[in-house]
Amino acid sequence: MRQSQTAWRKILARFVRKAASLFAGALALGVFPVAADTVRINGTGAALGGLEAVAEAYAKAHPGSRINILRPALGGAGSVKALQGGALDLAVSARPLKEEERAQGLVAQEYARAPLVIAVAKGNQRIAGLTLSELADIYAGRTRTWRDGGALRLILRQPSDADTLLLQAISPEMDAAVAAALARKGMVTAMTDQESVELIEKIPGSIGTSSLSLIVSEKRALRALPLNGVEPSLQAYADGRYPYAKVLYLVIGANPSAETRRFADFLRSPAGRAILRRNAYWTQEAR
């Protein structure tokens, strides 16, 4: 199991380094033309839809501003590397900064949370919800078909991904079940949040993790399943009845431009937080 996780971490690290390098190279070559006052943002996929909604409102309030929410998502680690290399002005990560990243002048601040969900395609009516024990059975491989006998296809994330770590933190039973799934050969593994939802949408009988915020903000054809009888919602998260969520950190460099600071302030303002809440992101005001 440890060897499997180590191998995945090495694959992910190579992917992140290559993506960040290609991204920076494309900017340097002018593939993405950048004006002097343009704010370039990338990060964990769960954040992009909400950032696009906030950027649209910001552009209306600040004519002439250029806020580019770049796709595809580099992920938290890749976007932080791109920020360090000057290819981005802001990054979004689902983890706090490491000590060496803070030592380089980067600053991270939580701005929202994205409720983690177990999702199926909208057209999949085979299941109304899951208990955590049933979810553990799916990950452990004890359940491999739906109740009608149809094939159940589990979509995994990498061992170091925030979705995976959150699932493992739910309980010792889920920790063991996720470890068993990661160790099984032939499993489908998504590299990004967007790839995960696309696979769940397209592969018949599939199930996997996503975030309520991504589903709502990107209008994805997915259905978030209730867990232990609790429907995923911002109110359920605020009440503590549904406690599963990814923390989203806005990461800013050591010498941000004035426009970068203005957008960061707008994102965390009452107006920005209201837009995020409309897109199923929990913010401090939702307490």
Q: CA–CA separation, 68 vs 205, rounded Å?
A: 36
Beta-strand ranges (E) seen in 136-261 are: 153-157, 188-190, 206-211, 222-224, 245-252
pLDDT digits (tens, 9 = 90+) for 74-125: 999 999 999 999 999 999 999 999 999 999 999 999 999 999 999 999 999 9
pTM listed for this prediction: 0.86
List the structure tokens of 265: 């302030």
Domain identity same for 122 and 208 = yes
Domain identity same for 10 and 76 = yes
pLDDT digits (tens, 9 = 90+) for 233-286: 999 999 999 999 999 999 999 999 999 999 999 999 999 999 999 999 999 874
pLDDT of residue 189: 98
Q: Which of 64, 72, 65 minimizes the C-alpha distance to 19?
A: 72
Q: Which of 186, 115, 191, 181 minimizes the C-alpha distance to 157?
A: 191
Domain identity same for 213 and 104 = no
Return the number of other C-beta atoms located less than 10 Å from residue 188's C-beta: 14
- Examine residue 244 and state whether it is found in any structural domain, yes or no: no
Domain identity same for 125 and 205 = yes
Q: CA–CA separation, 268 vs 287, rounded Å?
A: 15
Residue 129 near residue 227 (C-beta atoms within 8 A): yes
Q: CA–CA separation, 4 vs 182, rounded Å?
A: 8
Domain identity same for 198 and 259 = no
Q: CA–CA separation, 33 vs 27, rounded Å?
A: 7
Domain identity same for 76 and 167 = no
List the structure tokens of 45: 């996929």
Residue 137 near residue 143 (C-beta atoms within 8 A): yes
Average pLDDT value over all residues in the chain: 90
Q: What is the CA radius of gyration of the chain?
A: 19
Report the number of distinct structural domains present in the chain.
Answer: 2
Place of tokens 């191998």: 7
Amino acid, res. 5 = Q
- Examine residue 128 and state whether it is found in any structural domain, yes or no: yes
Domain identity same for 225 and 270 = no
How many residues does this entry show for the chain?
Answer: 287
Amino acid, res. 62 = H
- Rounded mean pLDDT, 128-154: 97
pLDDT band per the 50, 70, 90 thresholds, residue 35 = low
Residue 90 near residue 263 (C-beta atoms within 8 A): yes
List the structure tokens of 281: 């992101």
- Examine residue 229 and state whether it is found in any structural domain, yes or no: yes
pLDDT of residue 93: 97
Residue 149 is part of a domain; what is its CATH number? 3.40.190.10
Q: CA–CA separation, 137 vs 10, rounded Å?
A: 28
Domain identity same for 125 and 232 = yes
Residue span of the structural domain in which 118 resides: 114-239
Q: Which of 275, 277, 79 minimizes the C-alpha distance to 192?
A: 79
Determine which of 7-16, 34-43, 134-143, 247-256 has the lowest per-residue pLDDT on average. Answer: 7-16
Q: Is the pLDDT score of 29 beyond 50? A: no
Is residue 160 helix, strand or coil?
A: coil
pLDDT digits (tens, 9 = 90+) for 160-215: 999 999 999 999 999 999 999 999 999 999 999 999 999 999 999 999 999 999 99
Q: CA–CA separation, 157 vs 74, rounded Å?
A: 15
- Rounded mean pLDDT, 4-24: 48
Cβ burial 263-282 (10 Å sphere, 16+ → b, else e): bbebbbeeebbebbbebbbb
- Examine residue 32 and state whether it is found in any structural domain, yes or no: yes
